[in-house]
């Protein structure tokens, strides 16, 4: 049994445990779960037998209009396996558990997703903006974000008295 079949078996077993769906997309196994299951899913994926997906490659946010998605790309330094986990997050109340306890490197990636989409990562040690400045209003990569006109953007920020 090759690496791919073992991975598929592991992922399908995991999907039945966390109410997820599995599909294959361009040579990539995609596991879609609901947000509350994410810690369980990723802990299990990290500890897969024979095909551990233990390297967190990237975290991305996606705005799907009626909900958000947080996409985790998992690979490994110990094999060719790769797995994509999508977590569906409610749009009105975008809260999901942080994975910084599983991978400390998720720190900055989650801050980026928070910066651009406003997704709250529960349990994150330092959840604040990373690219934009602290008093920026709104989350610019959301589909309903309206960019300010250049006349507003060109005004330089006035320094507050307590700075």
Partner 1 sequence: MDVAKEKELREAEALMEKNVLLTTIDKVLNWGRGHSFWPVTFGLACCAIEMMAAGGPRVDISRFGYEVFRASPRHADVMIVAGTCTRKMAPLLRMIYDQMPEPKWVIAMGSCASAGGPFADSYSMITGVDKIVPVDVYIPGCPPRPESLIYGLLQLQYKVNHPDKVRLLKHGK
Q: Residues in the site for partner 1, rule: CB under 8 A?
A: 131-133, 140, 145, 147-148, 150, 153-154, 156-157, 159
* CA angle centred on 123, ends 120 and 128, rounded to 5°: 50
b/e map of 118-137 (b: 16 or more CB within 10 Å)?
Answer: bbbbeebeebeebeeeeeee
What token pair was written down for 19?
A: 């109410």
User: In the complex with partner 1, which residue's Cβ is closer, 128 or 157?
Assistant: 157
User: In the complex with partner 1, which residue's Cβ is closer, 44 or 141?
Assistant: 141
Distance CA 154, CA 71 (A): 34
Name the strand (E) or helix (H) holding 122.
strand 120-122
User: In the complex with partner 1, which residue's Cβ is closer, 77 or 156?
Assistant: 156
Beta carbon of residue 159, minimum distance to partner 1 (angstroms, whole number): 8
Beta carbon of residue 89, minimum distance to partner 1 (angstroms, whole number): 22
User: In the complex with partner 1, which residue's Cβ is closer, 95 or 132?
Assistant: 132
| Contact yes or no for 37/17 (Cβ under 8 A) | no
Beta carbon of residue 63, minimum distance to partner 1 (angstroms, whole number): 15
Beta carbon of residue 153, minimum distance to partner 1 (angstroms, whole number): 6
């Amino acid at each position: 049994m090759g690496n791919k079949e073992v991975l598929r078996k592991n992922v399908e077993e995991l999907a039945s445990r966390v109410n997820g769906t599995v599909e294959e997309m361009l040579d990539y196994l995609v596991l879609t779960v609901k947000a509350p299951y994410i810690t369980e899913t990723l802990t299990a994926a990290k500890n897969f037998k024979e095909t551990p997906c233990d390297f967190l490659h990237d975290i991305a946010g996606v705005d799907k209009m009626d909900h958000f998605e947080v996409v985790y790309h998992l690979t490994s330094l110990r094999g060719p396996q790769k797995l994509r986990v999508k977590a569906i997050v409610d749009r009105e109340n975008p809260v999901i558990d942080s994975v910084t306890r599983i991978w400390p490197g998720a720190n900055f990636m989650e801050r980026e997703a928070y910066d651009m989409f406003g997704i709250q990562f529960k349990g994150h040690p330092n959840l604040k903006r990373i690219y934009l400045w602290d008093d920026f209003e709104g989350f610019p990569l959301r589909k309903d974000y309206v960019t300010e006109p250049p006349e507003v953007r060109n005004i330089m920020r006035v320094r507050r008295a307590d700075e």
